[in-house]
Structure 1
Amino acid sequence: MSYLRADARLIRELLPPEARPPSDADGLFLLYAVLMRAKGELVTAADVHDAWTAWMENRDPGHRALVPFDELSRATQREDEPYVQAIQAAARVRAKGAS
């Protein structure tokens, strides 16, 4: 398993129970792993949405949420928060391991 896949697995494990990612979202979590390595705890909901948008482009290019984060409803924006929390938590875990 690559380091990115390991990070993706960690992020998935750290998701709060209310998050319900699609079962076939391995590619999405790899993008989240890249975000974690690039931005660490500074990752934002807009970053998470951008990664999701890149992933969704190949799955459903007509999806209604393929718009910039600021154009989403507040309710839809909030759906990204559990992923932000998990990515930030994973970044903290990895930072402790590097010490």
Structure 2
Amino acid sequence: MTNYLELDAELIRKCLPGGADVPEGSDSLFLIYAVLLRSKGADVDASDVHDAWAAWMVGVDPDHDSILPFENLDKATRREDSPFLVAIREAAARR
């Protein structure tokens, strides 16, 4: 059985722009994104998306160089969150 968070996670996946680099084994990441969708909706920002990714990454690779506050990241690293921000906002619009 699929629950409401899994449905929202799948909607976010469907809203990703073409060519988005989705991490392997990221089902739990998209569940965190689903919580962002439900809690912030279209008001979600790039910092929120990065924090969600960082929380997920702590369990995947706790020594990853990008587990830093969003404002401490370089511009290129910040842009990596953009497709997921777009997808969450699009999913909010569709809901």
TM-score for the superposition, normalised by structure 2:
0.96
Identity rate of aligned residues, in percent? Answer: 53
Q: Deviations over 1:28-70 (max 9, x none)?
A: 0000000000000000010000000000001100000000000
2 CA distance for matches of 1:43 and 1:18? Answer: 22
Q: Which letter does structure 2 place at the counterpart of 1:35?
A: L
The 4+ residue runs of structure 1 with deviation greater than 3 A are: none
Provide the residue aligned with 1:2 in structure 2: 3
Provide the residue aligned with 1:56 in structure 2: 57
Provide the residue aligned with 1:33 in structure 2: 34
Q: Which letter does structure 1 place at the counterpart of 2:92?
A: A
What 5-or-longer segments of structure 1 have no aligned partner? 95-99
How many positions carry a matched residue from both structures?
Answer: 94
Provide the aligned C-alpha RMSD in A: 0.6
What 5-or-longer segments of structure 2 have no aligned partner? none
TM-score for the superposition, normalised by structure 1:
0.93
2 CA distance for matches of 1:64 and 1:33? Answer: 25
Provide the residue aligned with 1:88 in structure 2: 89
